[in-house]
Amino acid sequence: MRCFTVLLLFVLTLQQAFSQEQLSLAGSWNFQLDPAGKGEKEQWYQQNFKEQISLPGSTDEGKKGTKTEGADYGILSRAYKYLGKAWYSREINIPLAWKGKEVELFLERVMWESKVWVNGKALTTRDALAVPHLHSLGKLKPGKHLLTLRIDNGMIYNIGDKGHVYTEYTQSIWNGVVGKMELRAKERSRLSNLQVFPDAGKKTLELKMKLENPIATRITYTILDLQTNKKVFSKSLALSAAENQTHHLQLNFPLKLWDEFSPNRYRIIAELQNKNKTKIDFGFRSIGHSASKVLINNAPVFMRGNLDCVHFPLTGYPSCDVKEWERIFKIYKSYGLNHVRFHSWCPPEAAFEAADKLGIYIQAETIWIDWWMTEPPKDRPDMLTQGLPKGLGKNPSADQFVQEEMQRMLDAYGNHPSFAMLCIGNELGNSDFEVMQEWIKKLKTTDNRRLYAVSTARKIMPVDDFSATHNIPNVGGTYGLQGARTDYDLEKNYSRSNIPILAHEVGQFPVYPLWSEINKYTGVLKARNLEVCRASAIANGLEKQDEVFHKSSGALQRVLYKSLIENFYRTPSCAGFQMLSMQDYQGQGEALVGWLDVFYEDKGSTSPEYFKQYNNAVVPLARFEKFAWENREAFHATLELANYGSADLMNKVKWEIRTDNEDLLGTGVLEAGIVKRGEVKQIGTLNVALGKVKKATKARLLLSLPGTEYRNEWDLWIYPDHTDVPSSAQVIETDVLDEKTLDALQNGKTVLLYAAKLGNTENFRPVFFSPLFWSNVFFPGQENTTLGAYINDKHPVYRDFPTDSWTDWQWESISKGGRAFRLAGWPQNIQPMAQPISDFHLNEKLGALIECKVGKGKLLICGYDVQSAKNPVARQFRYSLLNYIHTKDFNPDTEVDPVLLKKSFPFIKQAESKIPVPAAFADALLYAKATESTAVLKRNTSYELKGAEGTWRWDNKAAWYGKKMELEINPPQGVIGELFIHFADWNNEGRDVKIWIEGREFTTGKLDKEGKWVKLFVMREDTNDGKVKVRMESLAGSNAMIDELVFVESK
């Protein structure tokens, strides 16, 4: 007890010593806007301004600037907006105890530049965005002084306004000071920039520091274990009178390591003889990498990450409160996440401190500049980037700033064990990667406490320790769904990398909003944009369906995330993933992609318990070929166990398959043996006969590790092999709505209309199983305009087709080629039994399964492709439809005019292309061959090949040729896909061609007479302006020759 009392007194004394050296400046400040920037010239720093404002805070919170009206396009609206210089002043009172000490002004976070005057004398200017602004005020006499700040939130360096460090997309371009604001008393001789380099293997601490106004003295180091608050080490050493010094401490106590499972923290207190104290929290955490995994303390980890893009809609700026970041990161941990990527920005100290406490691995960045930001966009004013910034390495305005900013980040936050990764920025496509690589090399030589990378998602450089990318250059993609199955992985791509690859910005599945969320925006940012969307829903009669649309689109998102994430676990060489994102993204066209809203509050789409089944340190996995089975088959699956926990596993795995009625179809236990930490191990196979199932049934495969939290489950659908499809003379099945069919309806017949090939582009929308990507506003060229479908699962039409109120995997095969019909102009009380959910920016009323009266007859319209007898799902769906229309339940009460029906369901024969298209490119938006005079072009795609000197014909071959050629393709805006170019070399000259696609460089390598297909990944950012530019230049041989061009959209 006495020992604890002494320790408590030590800690309290330490806290009191630190508090006596600080003086808070929070409170009321005098204030004046300076939109014309004339304040310094007119010596405003000598004035006491008439207006008042509270700091810490922003001009938005103080209701200063222009009061706005109406909605900003694609983003939340600032209630008050100001851009430019603003002046803040107040009287400060220096305590008598500070006499003779240096005084420092600490401003935790400023956007962007701060300049300081004391008593009218100009002192220092700071321009960091990621770290606190520290201003030396010199020695101030005890008593009163006038402190004046000028904050400028204009663009100080040309980094553009699309990266999250400086943007209206999310946090807002605010003016003010947030976080801590205080004066700090400093001894003349003092420590600064103390950096702690732990080495648990050697049981040492290397301490690097700077001694301000150095004198020969002594220093005492004390180490506390923050888990127990016990003092575990103390040592006194001599300090020389040198400015930069290094000490090595050999430690004599048992070390506890820091990681996601055991975030053990320590605090070192360095005290000089003059009582100047510095305290640093740290952890014993090493980091490295193998060819495929990040290694924490020499153990492989699986990075389960989420993006943070600065979502604080109540304030418009990031929180500097540790408790708020603890709240956020506890949510991360509850869903099984262990990693956060701060997309193109760096959080404040509080985030690192919270991550240290909870065991979260942080990736921090500085900016985002890409090709599409460098030119004024055509017809897309919302895409205009302020300053049209050049890429790094060729941007004199930004280059030095970014280098200094990274060093400042390392100095300010480098001691935190959670600071595991540093990347210069996001998708730096138009930058000079050779120049940026030198910047990273320099950082790595001075600070080895984290992994480094040049950029996400554009190039992988030799200096990179890891890469977060959606495409490995010259290899292929890093994520994607492959349909209604789980027997696939991405090992063939990931295994070809020699550094860890994290899948970049995965997910981006939008969810229809609840209009009640609008009322939550009570702070500086208003959801006026969502009010516009709600008005659209009201105008189209959909405003009361937001809850069912929200539930169904959210459930589909849950289904897709499960399949997406399990694919990463099934890939042994995958290092992890970074989702975009767990929470909604409030900008870029309202990308409401989260299962949490921007307040990190649950939207009801999933639960932590369910999400952790497939997103955890340990995950049971099952590989099977399909989700829909027939009862004459045996269910076959291969079972695996992914172990990224804190130790090797030795567990049994229990399995069972039960129907929704709890009928047991099979159960058993498999011995997993030893599953090593970091291993994905096959543990057995299942073969379960399904003959017990006599009618269409939903079942569930459940895997669990008894005695642990680890379990996983998959829904399955089992269908009988039907031969008794109901029929009668009163029921007509047809795939055309002609006069004969309409006459039959008028005369009282019942008609089942298969409409998957009916309609025109004016009155239908294609049915897609997956939702559109990110935002229909930000990427407007997508063919998909829906967010899944709302299924009225209680309707008797589904009596023989088990379904929930959303489209799960059993809907995937019949959605392909399906059509949803626009119901504008139809009777308002028509309620489809299957209603594809139109994106909330469009709010079209759609129907893919509709019933109505026509004259004396009854009509059931099916827009899904259910006529394939070979597809058991289609067969079962058709069976359920026919059973339904033969019952008295089929009695629609809303009548539809035959004229409207004829207009809605015309049959339009598709023109056949005269150009033979290879089967692999059957769905291509562009297929061009030099032997043909025309090309196959779909969805208004066009192309132009410039610089070709002609067409060379040889035997039955032909090729476009030239020394330098430029290809411009004009696809739908915002599509993603692959461009295939076949380079020919019939006369075997050893041609070699250099290729640039949107600035990214490739070469064909030396060709032979067979030529070579080159596959180029086309990103959404490449096509968002409606064009893709490719330059080609001959490096060897007389010219470059191209004989085929193909552009295929990725689905």
What dihedral do alpha carbons 208, 214, 216, 218 form, nearest 10°?
-50
Superfamily of domain covering 22-186 = Galactose-binding domain-like (2.60.120.260)
For 998, the 3-state DSSP assignment is: coil
Tokens describing residue 399: 């280059």
Are 395 and 355 spatial neighbours (Cβ–Cβ below 8 Å)?
no
Cα distance between residue 1017 and residue 469, in whole Å: 12
* Cα(526)–Cα(236) distance, integer angstroms: 56
* Tokens of residue 720, six digits: 């009988």
pLDDT at 19 over 80: no
Residue 134 pairs with which residues in a beta bridge?
106
**Residue 402 parent element (H or E):** helix 396-413
Closest to 865 in 3D by CA, of 1018, 976, 754: 754
Please name the CATH architecture into which domain 618-719 falls.
Sandwich (2.60)
Contacts 24+ apart (CB under 8 A), 792-795: 792/831, 792/832, 792/833, 792/834, 792/835, 795/833
Given a contact cutoff of 8 angstroms between Cβ atoms, the answer to whether 565 and 576 are in contact is no
Q: What is the pLDDT of residues 661-720, one digit of tens each?
A: 999 999 999 999 999 999 999 999 999 999 999 999 999 999 999 999 999 999 999 999
Looking at residue 4, its pLDDT comes to: 47
Q: Residue 8 has what pLDDT?
A: 47
Give the chain's mean pLDDT.
94
CATH class of residue range 919-1049: mainly beta
Same fold, 22-186 and 919-1049: yes
* Per-domain boundaries in the chain: 22-186, 189-282, 287-611, 618-719, 731-904, 919-1049
HSE-up of residue 996 (Cα within 13 Å, Cβ side): 12
Calpha distance 541→536 (Å, rounded): 9
Of the candidates 464, 451, 518, the one whose C-alpha atom is nearest the C-alpha of residue 301 is 451
Of the candidates 660, 563, 649, 688, the one whose C-alpha atom is nearest the C-alpha of residue 613 is 563
Q: Which two tokens stand for residue 554?
A: 């959210």
List the single range of 243-252, 340-349, 804-813, 908-917 with lowest mean pLDDT.
Answer: 908-917
pLDDT tens for residues 379-407? 888 899 999 999 999 999 999 999 999 99
Per cent of the chain over pLDDT 70 is 97
Model confidence at 914, in pLDDT bands (50, 70, 90)? low
Q: How far is CA 456 from the centre of its chain?
A: 12
- What is the average pLDDT across 458-483? 94
Mean pLDDT value across residues 233-262: 95
Sorted by sequence, the CB contacts under 8 Å of residue 586 that are 6+ apart come out as 75, 76, 169, 170, 311, 313, 525, 598
Number of Cα atoms under 13 Å in the Cβ half of residue 620: 28
| Residue 854: alpha-carbon gap to chain centroid | 48
| Whether pLDDT at 997 is above 60 | yes
Classified as helix, coil or strand, 357 is helix
Which region among 645-649, 895-899, 916-920 has the lowest average model confidence (pLDDT)?
916-920
Cα(547)–Cα(539) distance, rounded to whole angstroms?
17
Q: Please state, as a whole number, how many other Cβ atoms lie within 10 Å of the Cβ of residue 758.
A: 21
pLDDT tens digits, one per residue of 928-957: 998 887 888 888 899 999 998 888 887 788
Instruction: Please determine, for residue 14, whether its predicted confidence score (pLDDT) is greater than 80.
Output: no
In sequence order, the β-bridge partners of residue 507 are 580
* 824 class by beta-carbon count within 10 Å (0-12 exposed, 13-18 middle, 19+ buried): exposed
The pLDDT of residue 15 is above 70: no
Give the amino acid at 130.
A
Name the nearest CA neighbour of 881 among 804, 951, 952, 795.
795
Among the listed ranges 137-146, 412-421, 489-498, 1038-1047, which one has the minimum average pLDDT value? 1038-1047
3-state secondary structure of 553: helix
- CB 899 within 8 Å of CB 746: no
For the segment 57-106, what is each residue's pLDDT rounded down to a tens digit? 999 999 999 999 999 999 999 999 999 999 999 999 999 999 999 999 99
d(CA 390, CA 715): 50
> In this structure, what is the dihedral angle of CA atoms 983, 989, 994, 995, given to the nearest 10 degrees?
-10
**Domain 189-282 CATH assignment equals 2.60.40.10:** yes
| pLDDT in the model for residue 1019 | 86
CB contact at 8 A, 791 and 814: no
What is the 8-class DSSP label of residue 910? P
Highest CATH level, class, for 287-611: alpha beta
Question: Nearest to residue 82, comparing CAs of 32, 11, 13, 16?
Answer: 32
- DSSP element (H, E) containing 220: strand 217-225
- CB of 974 within 8 A of CB of 782? yes
- pTM strictly above 0.85: yes
Separation CA 32–CA 150 (nearest Å):
10
Which is more confident, 920 or 106?
A: 106
The token duo for 861 is: 């319209």
Average pLDDT of the residues in 1029-1043: 91
Strands across the sheet containing 121-126? 51-55, 27-34, 85-94, 143-152, 113-118, 121-126
Position 17 pLDDT exceeds 60: no
Tell whether the model's pLDDT for residue 417 goes beyond 60: yes
